Homo-oligomer: A and B are copies of this chain.
Amino acid sequence: MQYYARPETGLDPSCVNEAVEAAFAAFARGETEMPPKVYVTLPGGDFRTMPAYIPALGLAGVKIVNVHPGNPARGLETVMALIVLLDPPTGMPYAILNATGLTDLRTGAAGAVAARHLCRKQDGIELGLIGAGRQAETQLEATSAWLGIDRVRVWSRRSATAEAFARRFSRFEIRADSLERTADCDLLVTTTPSREPLVMDAWIRDGTHINAIGADAPGKQELDPAILIRASVYVDDPRQAIHSGEINVPIAAGGYSIDRIAGTLGDVVIGRGGRHSDDEVTVFDSTGLAVQDLAIAGVALRRGGPGVELVFP
């Protein structure tokens, strides 16, 4: 059994995007096994257990990931993760990966896959980023690997954070801006831990695609529910989205109903549904699938790199 401490180092964003796209497609075809993720509450946070199996890739395993918002004050990351891979025909664990970086990358890749299939154009894109943390970085890296980004606007609750983000990505035509002006774009990506709507419907121009990334637990939301009513909403997994995605609060409050969901991103990837017109507003509600984690773990292992040999069994 091998342990990989830095499996995300040097991964090519296009390869990751492709692997994650294939995982969404396999999920849509019913060719994966993936129970809904299981939450356990801890003091100051929680951890989630995400088992899955993708027969076509020969990948089976579990991601274990926490969310502890108070961690940065202790010098630790909010989200830390491990992936354990098992050999499907024998069930034997053969690899353990530090998956903190992989989790960022596979979430970025989901946004890129959604943008490829749901944006009304693939070039000359005006991108808006609500939130300027690590996930905003990986969304920008992953999406710009596949789509032509013309200009970027970025907003953060602390303007200094947005300005620092803009300096780090000065290879783009980029500027920190207000919420309202940032939301006026072709592709809007929200990556905050907000528990109340930040983005108002009136600010969203026709034809915008929104990647709603931040909401991944009950009580979290970033979008004015009127956006969800106006838009065609695609989810990664209906079971998870209802429980913990962008739609979870509006559903609990009665302002959104499950039967409004337009489909899954996997459905769109395999050609079952997608954008109907250039004027349509589309939303991808991302909660994060265990099959994304398996897919990126597979990319990391194929690339090789140094591991530590552990005695097992």
Closest-by-CB residue of B relative to A93 is B82
Find A67's partner among B55, B91, B311 (CB 8 Å cutoff): B91
- Contact call B313/A43, Cβ cutoff below 8 A: no
- Contact call B84/A80, Cβ cutoff below 8 A: no
- Contact call A74/B45, Cβ cutoff below 8 A: no
Q: Is A165 an interface residue (CB 8 A)?
A: no
Closest-by-CB residue of B relative to A308 is B310
Instruction: Please give the count of copies of this chain that the complex contains.
Output: 2
Q: Is A133 an interface residue (CB 8 A)?
A: no
Q: Is A44 an interface residue (CB 8 A)?
A: yes
Contacts of A5 in B (CB 8 A): 310-312
Q: Secondary structure of the A side of the interface? A: strand
Q: Is A252 an interface residue (CB 8 A)?
A: no
A window 256-302: CB within 8 A of B: none
Closest-by-CB residue of B relative to A76 is B90
- Contact call B80/A92, Cβ cutoff below 8 A: yes
Q: Is A68 an interface residue (CB 8 A)?
A: yes
Taken together as a complex, chains A and B put the C-alpha atoms of A308 and B308 apart, in Å, by: 10
Q: Is A53 an interface residue (CB 8 A)?
A: yes
Contacts of A44 in B (CB 8 A): 89-90
